[in-house]
Structure 1
Amino acid sequence: MKNFIFTIILVGLNLYASANFQELKKVSNIAFTNGEKLSFRLFYSSTMTGNVTAGEMISEISSKNYIVRGDTTLNIKVIGKTKGAFSWFFKVNDVYQTYVDVNYMIPRYFIKRISEGDYEDSRDVKFYHEKQRVDYINNKNKTSGSLKIGKNVQDLISAIYYARTFNTDTFKLNDDISISFFMDESVYQTKLKYIEKQTIKTSIGKVECLKFKPSVLTGGVFKDEDKLIVYISNDKNHLPILAESEVMIGSVKIELVQYANLKNKFTSLKN
């Protein structure tokens, strides 16, 4: 159950082309801007609990930029926590922060502070893309180390925002998009398959979306990769609208319920 809430978001919303540092090009970000705030609600369903509101998540971009080792970055903070009765048997209080280079949309610094049931974790990661290396610190175990990384590796949160800058006009049905990301002292890979355009009903109204089916890593929380579906708004914002999947016991759904300070008009909202 480690990284429970964010495993869905990570696997579901990463899509980016890999390149080493020498090949990096500046990314034209027309999808989001400083001050954007997205609020999500997590729903859980099982024979034991019925349908319950299990948690909430807020993802917010800083109102100003920060300098990290000479590079201008956006600070993106994500807070996720369980709510109500769900907290009685599995309490989650997670905080993630990433500092993303505004020119290349790659992470420069990543912070993880999570508490999930009896499990706690605290890590700091510095990304040196010029040297194709990450330095990491495990604050809980008081250990540290370095790892060579390959092509344009993202972190858990930066990958989601990089995905939103991607030109979806080039996608063809059943295209597979490769993903690389650093998490907990290792680099992982997965793929995302584009399925179709679909208009779905949500808490904020009907939204025209791009539908994706991710391939899930072995040993992840999902029991079948075909059970996870992700929907992203089909407009310039590329907002994460909905992710839903069966898990080991029951099913989960994460849905966008509020938004503020979008960079572009929310044209895919069909109210």
Structure 2
Amino acid sequence: MKQIRSWAIALLVMLTGNAAAQCSFRNTAFSSGEFLSYNLYYNWKFVWVKAGFASMSTVQSRYNGMPAYRASLTTRGNNKVDDFFILRDTLLCYNTLDLAPLYYRKGAHEGSRYTVDEVFYTYPNGNCHVRQHRQHSNGTHSWEQHSYTDCIYDMMSIFLRARSFNPEGWKKGNTVNFPIADGNGRTPACLVYNGKKVVKADDNNKYRCLHLSYTELDDGKYKRIVDFYVTDDNNHVPVRLDMFLKFGSAKAFLVGMKGLRNPVKSLVK
């Protein structure tokens, strides 16, 4: 029985891997064991207040018996701002080792609302099939599923993928388009390159960064969701994030990083 089970797992891995290959991408930016930490700041009545922390980790794990990257992102506001706005978000994704999406989950406690989004990816017959689940703030659940001939991503998987983009030759305004999924839909989205900028992190270092804007189509217009300032080297580590939220705006600044795959060549001395 053990041998039969092993053959079944091997067959599943082979079939899933072959089908997902169309949505794969080479990873040049990170390896298992990377950990990034950030300070969070909120804009409250035109004043920036230090109000929490965020962290992101990436490790090699397994998903349905196959090797996969497991990436998680947590944001935690502190007690200073809980009276004004509660922010407790946890994002999780599994991708194949060549970055095809497998699973995504976002649990969001924002203000008085708590929602959960999930996306389950499979790749039958060369298509990208997604099952999407949302737990609404009133506790009800909704499910839907769709098949697409093109690839579809979530916020975490596109972030992992984008870190391995090669920006050589990019000019200001260069745009990468892709569809994004959450718990109940598919939305056109894009990354826009805005040039380079030197950014000071909360580790007291300055880094030469690429400035990228993540936008989503909303009511016929592209709405800016977050600006990323990522190191201008092969790691493409986010040094600063500017987040445009429903309640206002927030920023995150890099505090520490360890387990990087490549040398940090973007440090400005």
TM-score (normalizing by structure 2): 0.80
Deviation at 1:135, TM superposition (A): 1.1
Asked if 2 retains the 8 angstrom alpha-carbon contact of 1:40 and 1:255, the reply is yes
User: Which of 83, 102, 105 is equivalent to 1:88?
Assistant: 83
Q: Which amino acid aligns with 1:199?
A: V
Q: Which residue of 2 aligns with 1:181?
A: 180
Q: Which residue of 2 aligns with 1:18?
A: none
After TM superposition, where is structure 1 displaced by more than 3 Å over at least 4 residues in a row?
Answer: 213-217, 245-251
Q: Which amino acid aligns with 1:39?
A: S
Asked if 2 retains the 8 angstrom alpha-carbon contact of 1:46 and 1:249, the reply is no
Deviation at 1:249, TM superposition (A): 6.0
Count residues in correspondence.
244
* Deviation sequence 1:193-250 (CA, Å, 0-9, x none): 222222222222110011224444326xxx974x964311100101111122666665
| Structure of larger gyration radius | 2
Asked if 2 retains the 8 angstrom alpha-carbon contact of 1:164 and 1:239, the reply is yes
Taking structure 1 as reference, are residues 26 and 235 closer, same or farther at Cα in structure 2, changes over 3 Å only? Answer: same
Q: Distance in 1 between matches of 2:24 and 2:249?
A: 39
Q: Which amino acid aligns with 1:184?
A: G
Could you say what the CA RMSD is over the residues aligned between the two structures, in angstroms? 2.7
Taking structure 1 as reference, are residues 84 and 269 closer, same or farther at Cα in structure 2, changes over 3 Å only? Answer: farther
Asked if 1 retains the 8 angstrom alpha-carbon contact of 2:199 and 2:240, the reply is no
Q: Which amino acid aligns with 2:109?
A: S
Q: How does 1:19-38 map to 2 (within 5 A)?
A: 24=22, 26-38=24-36
Q: Which residue of 2 aligns with 1:115?
A: 109
Q: Distance in 2 between matches of 1:215 and 1:115?
A: 22
SS at 2:268's partner residue?
A: coil
Greater percentage in strand = 2
Q: Which amino acid aligns with 1:254?
A: A
Asked if 2 retains the 8 angstrom alpha-carbon contact of 1:47 and 1:250, the reply is no
Unaligned runs of 5+ in 1: 1-20
Q: Which residue of 1 aligns with 2:9?
A: none
Unaligned runs of 5+ in 2: 1-18
Asked if 1 retains the 8 angstrom alpha-carbon contact of 2:240 and 2:253, the reply is yes
TM-score (normalizing by structure 1): 0.79
Asked if 1 retains the 8 angstrom alpha-carbon contact of 2:211 and 2:228, the reply is yes
Q: Which amino acid aligns with 1:172?
A: K
Taking structure 1 as reference, are residues 195 and 123 closer, same or farther at Cα in structure 2, changes over 3 Å only? Answer: closer
Deviation at 1:98, TM superposition (A): 0.6
User: Which of 66, 78, 101 is equivalent to 2:62?
Assistant: 66
Taking structure 1 as reference, are residues 43 and 61 closer, same or farther at Cα in structure 2, changes over 3 Å only? Answer: same
User: Which of 230, 233, 258 is equivalent to 1:232?
Assistant: 230
Q: Which moved more, 1:261-270 or 1:21-30?
A: 21-30
Taking structure 1 as reference, are residues 246 and 177 closer, same or farther at Cα in structure 2, changes over 3 Å only? Answer: same
Taking structure 1 as reference, are residues 78 and 248 closer, same or farther at Cα in structure 2, changes over 3 Å only? Answer: closer
Q: Which amino acid aligns with 1:132?
A: C
Q: How does 1:235-250 map to 2 (within 5 A)?
A: 235-244=233-242
Asked if 1 retains the 8 angstrom alpha-carbon contact of 2:118 and 2:183, the reply is no
Q: Which amino acid aligns with 2:83?
A: W
* Deviation sequence 1:96-141 (CA, Å, 0-9, x none): 21111112x1211122222222111123321113432111233442
Q: Distance in 2 between matches of 1:25 and 1:248?
A: 32
Q: Which moved more, 1:126-135 or 1:35-44?
A: 126-135
Q: Which amino acid aligns with 1:98?
A: C
